[in-house]
């Protein structure tokens, strides 16, 4: 069974190094996950980058989905919300940009 994704928040940013937004959401009504970057894919579309902590020379993942089907489910929900937010904002997805 796939988890329920709710309270999806999208914060568009000025694109930098492929990152176009940050997202957060609640998983199954009891776990808040945040600081997840939304990045453009070179071939089109978006992907999620989960937060890491740099320790010495290594990036240690703070959290990420383990199962591929769960990762895809989260990505579909978040990207659907992102596309909705971007369509309501200007063509660059920045609500404060002149347009």
Q: What CATH number is given to the structural domain containing 65?
A: 3.30.1120.40
Q: Is 41 among the domain residues?
A: yes
Q: Is 40 among the domain residues?
A: yes
Question: What is the domain extent for residue 37?
Answer: 5-88
Stretch 9-26: mean pLDDT: 96
Q: Is 56 among the domain residues?
A: yes
Domain count, the chain: 1
pLDDT score of 16: 95
Q: What is the SS3 assignment for 21?
A: strand
Q: Is 49 among the domain residues?
A: yes
Cα separation, 7 vs 40, whole angstroms: 22
Percent of the chain's residues with pLDDT above 90? 85
pLDDT score of 93: 46
Q: Is 9 among the domain residues?
A: yes
Cα–Cα distances (Å) from 43 to 28, 40, 46, 63, 90, in that order, read: 32, 9, 9, 26, 23
Stretch 37-52: mean pLDDT: 96
Q: Is 95 among the domain residues?
A: no
pLDDT score of 86: 87
Cα separation, 99 vs 95, whole angstroms: 9
Provide CB contacts within 8 A for 8, sequence distance 6+.
23, 24, 25, 77, 78, 81
Q: Is 36 among the domain residues?
A: yes
Q: What is the pLDDT of residues 56-98, one digit of tens each?
A: 999 999 999 999 999 999 999 999 999 999 888 655 545 554 4
| Cα 93 → chain centroid | 14
Q: Is 99 among the domain residues?
A: no
Cα separation, 22 vs 9, whole angstroms: 8
């Amino acid at each position: 069974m796939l988890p329920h994704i709710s309270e999806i928040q999208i914060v568009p940013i000025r694109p930098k190094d492929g990152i176009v937004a940050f997202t957060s959401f609640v998983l199954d009504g009891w776990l808040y996950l945040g600081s997840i970057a939304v990045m453009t894919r070179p071939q089109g579309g978006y992907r999620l980058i989960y937060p890491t902590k740099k320790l010495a020379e290594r990036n240690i993942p703070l959290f990420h989905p383990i199962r591929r089907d769960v990762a895809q489910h989260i990505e579909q929900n978040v990207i659907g919300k992102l596309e909705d937010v971007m369509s309501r904002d200007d063509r660059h997805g920045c609500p404060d940009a002149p347009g």
